[in-house]
A and B are shown apart, each in its own frame.
Chain A
Amino acid sequence: MSFNRDNIRNFCIVAHIDHGKSTLADRILELTETVAVRDMENQLLDNMDIERERGITIKARAVRMKYTSLSGDEYFFNLIDTPGHVDFNYEVSRSLAACEGAILVVDASQGIEAQTLANTYLAIDHDLEILPVVNKIDLPSARPEVVCKEIEDVIGIPAMDAPRISAKTGVNVRDVLERVITDIPAPKGDDDKPLKALIFDSYYDSYKGVIIYIRVVEGTVKVGTKIKLMATGAEFDVVETGYMGATELVNVGELHAGEVGYIAASIKNISDTRVGDTVTDAENPCEEALSGYKKVNPMVFSGVYPLDGAKYGDLRDALEKLQLNDASLSFEPETSIALGFGFRCGFLGLLHMEIIQERIEREYNLDIITTAPSVIYKVTLTNGEEKYIDNPSNYPDPALIEVAEEPVVKSNILVPSEFVGNIMELCKERRGVFKDMKYLDETRVELHYELPLNEIVYDFFDALKSRTRGYASFDYEFMGYVPSKLVKLDILLNGDVVDALSFIVHIDKAYARGRKIAENLKENIPRQMFEIPIQAAIGGKVIARETVKAYRKDVLAKCYGGDITRKKKLLEKQKEGKKRMRQFGTVEVPSEAFTAVLKID
């Protein structure tokens, strides 16, 4: 089949979590015979363990499928799977920019939910054609007519003829594919114009170097083309270019305007290939880069330390390898008196942080300790010097601080009107400043708040969901620094400050937080041979105190019929268990205790 732009469709699928996005993608892959049935693993697109377990998509992914329509014409479908969390909003926006349309999947029994709306609006913002689909019609509680009406009323797009499907059983999935052809426009573009392609993702392959996923907007890219990445200025010769098969890359030697595919160009460093950047021909460049590019900066920082100090080198290797696939992860070495040598890592948000930590532990088999996440504070010293502090242990002596400032974000919260009170209460607790509120329709409200970033990095998203029964959606962007009454809260174990547990907090919250952390630590530090006082202090002043009592009984009484080996092994096992603990003087602290500090609600 020769190249014909009119027979290409580029689209993504948007849905609320659990409405069946990945299952539909699987069915489409089956129907287009992109994947042999025997190779089908459930939810092929989400192939990271973490993604499958959490039911979320972390990395964007794309696959090309060949579809023969009922009228006998052949089409190429490019399905781009997108992440769905606020931490990755920018990545999502770039993936959407690579498509002409989106399949909107709505659960036939649950109807429209907050995430459906947030993602749909994002797609509409990118001028995508929306193809609504009502899923799970096999459920007894399905009410497809009502849901279609809801889509028309709330989103304002025609939906009464939306395909009613069951992705699980496969019913009517072919209708969806036919509607992709009729409803989603073919890409536009001119092969003869200078090359202009959007990077919507990249990853590192140990044989080919960085593989970049692109959508060609104008022009053609071929093996041998000298490309230039416009934001970074880096230049490379294309070694391979082609499309993404379901299980492997297929090198076809050239990509035309309108196509989605990949480029391999012996690129060593993933930081050269930023998501959102424009690829052009170095010898015949386009005049203007594509709009919408921005450099993504980490917002949340945390110390990451190997549990076993000897594994420092392994941890560095792991971070370097993760960074190959994730340019938004930053790290640099730091030292803690309590934890030894480790790294201060920067993340896009809390989910991103959790994912990286989990991947270090799983994929690299390293036990790590992470310190409480922190944002970057700005302090102006009495001598006029300005400092940015991403590690609480480096927070200057209060006597030397003229002004302390904290980062504030503009947030945008979408919520059904019945929960407005809950949201206002939550934002007030989190020191939010109310800006405005507007009714999008009778039932949905959009609220704007300015919120200190350090109030949302811990658990704001969870709190938001739990107070709105999962209906709220939330988005934010950095606004700037504002002066704030900040203090450094220290935690002392057995009278000694544990630097890795220190954090910066607004003075009004310091007492409550200090008390809560002391309690959490008491819960998480096992009783030991000696009593352990736990204190929270600001400056020299103790504001909270707890005590872990000494344990009384830890003895192997029985004789086990002369089985001395068993006794020895039990003791050794017990000792092994202690290796999961960090030793501070005579106090042993399990790594979980460091995370317990985060649990403040």
Chain B
Amino acid sequence: MDRLGVYIHIPFCARKCPYCDFYSTRYNKETVSLYVDALIRNFRAFSLENGKKKIVSIYFGGGTPILLSPSQFDLLLSSLSECFSFSEDIEITTEANPSMSDKNKFSEYRKTGLNRISFGVQSFIETELRSLQRTHTSEGAIRAIENAYSAGFDNISADIMLGIPHQTKESLSSTLETAGNLPLSHISAYMLKIEEETPFNSEEIIKTLPDDDTTAELYLHTIETLEKKGFLQYEISNFAKKGRQSRHNLLYWKSSDYIGFGAAAHSCYLGSRFAVPSDITSFTENSIQGKIITDENPCDFSEYAMLRLRLTEGLSLKEAEEKFSFDKETILHRAEKFRKAGLVNVSDDVISLTKNGFLVSNGIISDLVL
């Protein structure tokens, strides 16, 4: 275990987006303060038990972590630095809602040690933002990115959503064009997935979505356009300027360890995968956060391969053989039909998915390694 990351879940939102099924609750000042205390308690408990581990990344996800004040970030990060040893080039990211665009506030956040912001932009088209019931405007998002940049954040990511209500190739082109002209170093382009327990899971919304064939076109168009703008794809949904891949997300895809703090946070640590219960009260009231094992057989070859195949660099069967035993020939044999169909590349025992392959990656991954 050479690289370790820390994930901190901040399950508060001013308002819940209708497509989101992550755990979050309505923002409440008192609860947030209790929550921050509980986080710090847990950092200390962890370091008491495991020693002062070296970490390469800290990621504040949500929810809406930017609802924490700069002083709360300061508190959390200074506590983290007592409990963990930070690598020199540590990446400290927070997710942010672009409805906050105040330059001075960004400067304050920057001073806490945060060095990367990931904005939930989703689209630069007003009608699309409204259909997603986002609280920010296109103009606000542009201002937020520019102000964060001039406040000293030189590593900024934006989330763009594909396959949203009424989206067309033209509207997407316009969003990508706008994104390309902003001081961004990273873009995540996710295809909207309708989750069962969300308000978006309704006939009325579903009928406004681009069909699968159109969404596939949107995806391919995104890859092509972003490449021209200097954003190279490194994972199914992730694109970065040279050297600016999200280190934190790479920990996930490369089966590295990460420790999650906070209600609903997930961890992968010492060969086991577990999560904290999705319950703020139990998190703030208990001295140590709860732990639910999520997978009885974690970190096996299937999981490793499933994650590696999401990366453009692909799955090196040679490297995998050093860690796991599996039938390499069977996998290569299975890959052959996909290679013929232009869905995967195979060279030197490395299997990697092509752009079209990424689009149907579930089927390919299942067939190859599950």
A-B contact pairs, 28 of them (CB 8 A): A529-B360, A529-B363, A552-B213, A552-B215, A553-B212, A553-B213, A553-B215, A553-B216, A554-B363, A555-B191, A555-B362, A556-B193, A557-B162, A558-B193, A560-B22, A561-B9, A561-B22, A561-B265, A563-B266, A564-B303, A565-B295, A566-B294, A568-B295, A568-B302, A571-B362, A571-B366, A571-B370, A572-B370
Task: State the CA gap A561–B162 with chains docked (Å).
Answer: 19
Task: State the CA gap A558–B238 with chains docked (Å).
Answer: 10
Task: Contacts A529-B338, A553-B360, A572-B370 known; list 12 others, CB within 8 Å.
Answer: A529-B363, A552-B360, A554-B359, A554-B361, A555-B362, A556-B193, A557-B193, A562-B7, A567-B306, A568-B306, A570-B362, A586-B337
B266 touches A562 (CB 8 A): yes
Residues of A within 8 A of B (CB): 528-530, 551-568, 570-572, 574-575, 578, 586
Known A-B contacts A564-B307, A575-B366; the reply to A552 vs B359 at CB < 8 A is yes
Residues of B within 8 A of A557 (CB): 162, 190-191, 193, 236-237
Find the B residue at minimum CB distance from A555: B361
Instruction: Please give the distance in Å from B363's CB to the nearest CB on chain A.
Output: 5
B31 touches A (CB below 8 Å): no
Find the B residue at minimum CB distance from A561: B61
B298 touches A574 (CB 8 A): no
B341 touches A555 (CB 8 A): no
Residues of B within 8 A of A553 (CB): 191, 212-213, 215-216, 219, 359-360
B343 touches A (CB below 8 Å): yes
A559 touches B306 (CB 8 A): no
B306 touches A552 (CB 8 A): no
Residues of B within 8 A of A528 (CB): 363
Instruction: Please give the distance in Å from B186's CB to the nearest CB on chain A.
Output: 13
B interface, how many residues as a size bin?
Answer: 35 or more
A564 touches B190 (CB 8 A): no
Interface readout for B179-199 with A: 1 if CB under 8 Å, 0 if not? 000000000101101000000
Residues of A within 8 A of B341 (CB): 529-530
A551 touches B366 (CB 8 A): no
Task: State the CA gap A574–B219 with chains docked (Å).
Answer: 22
Residues of A within 8 A of B366 (CB): 571, 574-575, 578
Within 8 A of A (CB), among B289-313: 294-295, 298, 302-303, 306-307
Question: What is the interface of chain B mostly: helix, strand, loop, or mixed?
Answer: mixed
Instruction: Please give the distance in Å from A351's CB to the nearest CB on chain B.
Output: 35
Nearest 4 interchain pairs by C-beta: A552-B216, A565-B294, A553-B212, A557-B191
Task: State the CA gap A562–B219 with chains docked (Å).
Answer: 23
Interface readout for B190-234 with A: 1 if CB under 8 Å, 0 if not? 110100000000000000000011011001000000000000000
Residues of A within 8 A of B188 (CB): 559
B252 in complex: contacting residue of A551, A564, A568, CB < 8 Å: A564
Find the A residue at minimum CB distance from B7: A562
B92 touches A (CB below 8 Å): no
Residues of A within 8 A of B307 (CB): 564
B40 touches A (CB below 8 Å): no
Residues of B within 8 A of A556 (CB): 193, 361-362
B358 touches A (CB below 8 Å): yes
Find the B residue at minimum CB distance from A549: B213
B190 in complex: contacting residue of A530, A558, A571, CB < 8 Å: A558
Task: State the CA gap A558–B161 with chains docked (Å).
Answer: 10
Instruction: Please give the distance in Å from B58's CB to the nearest CB on chain A.
Output: 13
B365 touches A (CB below 8 Å): yes
A558 in complex: contacting residue of B7, B237, B359, B364, CB < 8 Å: B237
Task: State the CA gap A574–B193 with chains docked (Å).
Answer: 15
B303 touches A551 (CB 8 A): no
Find the B residue at minimum CB distance from A586: B337
Find the A residue at minimum CB distance from B366: A575
Task: State the CA gap A563–B302 with chains docked (Å).
Answer: 16
Residues of A within 8 A of B295 (CB): 564-565, 568
A555 touches B359 (CB 8 A): yes
Residues of B within 8 A of A554 (CB): 359-363
Find the B residue at minimum CB distance from A531: B341
Instruction: Please give the distance in Å from B178's CB to the nearest CB on chain A.
Output: 21
Instruction: Please give the distance in Å from A287's CB to the nearest CB on chain B.
Output: 72
A555 touches B358 (CB 8 A): yes
Task: State the CA gap A557–B265 with chains docked (Å).
Answer: 19
Instruction: Please give the distance in Å from A565's CB to the nearest CB on chain B.
Output: 4
Within 8 A of A (CB), among B265-293: 265-268, 273, 275
Task: State the CA gap A318–B193 with chains docked (Å).
Answer: 42
Task: State the CA gap A574–B212 with chains docked (Å).
Answer: 17
Residues of B within 8 A of A562 (CB): 7, 252, 258, 260, 265-268
Instruction: Please give the distance in Å from B172's CB to the nearest CB on chain A.
Output: 15
B268 touches A559 (CB 8 A): no
B127 touches A (CB below 8 Å): no
Residues of A within 8 A of B358 (CB): 555
Instruction: Please give the distance in Å from A548's CB to the nearest CB on chain B.
Output: 14
Residues of A within 8 A of B360 (CB): 529, 551-555
Interface readout for B343-354 with A: 1 if CB under 8 Å, 0 if not? 100000000000
B298 in complex: contacting residue of A560, A563, A565, A575, CB < 8 Å: A565
B370 touches A575 (CB 8 A): yes
Task: State the CA gap A269–B112 with chains docked (Å).
Answer: 85
Residues of A within 8 A of B236 (CB): 555, 557
Task: State the CA gap A554–B265 with chains docked (Å).
Answer: 27
- Considering residues A556, A562, A574, A586, which has the most beta carbons from chain B within 10 angstroms of its beta carbon? A562
B249 touches A (CB below 8 Å): yes
Residues of A within 8 A of B343 (CB): 529
Residues of A within 8 A of B258 (CB): 562
A574 touches B362 (CB 8 A): yes
Residues of A within 8 A of B237 (CB): 557-559
Instruction: Please give the distance in Å from A583's CB to the nearest CB on chain B.
Output: 11
B365 touches A571 (CB 8 A): yes
Residues of B within 8 A of A551 (CB): 212, 360
Instruction: Please give the distance in Å from B269's CB to the nearest CB on chain A.
Output: 11
Interface readout for B302-334 with A: 1 if CB under 8 Å, 0 if not? 110011000000000000000000000000000
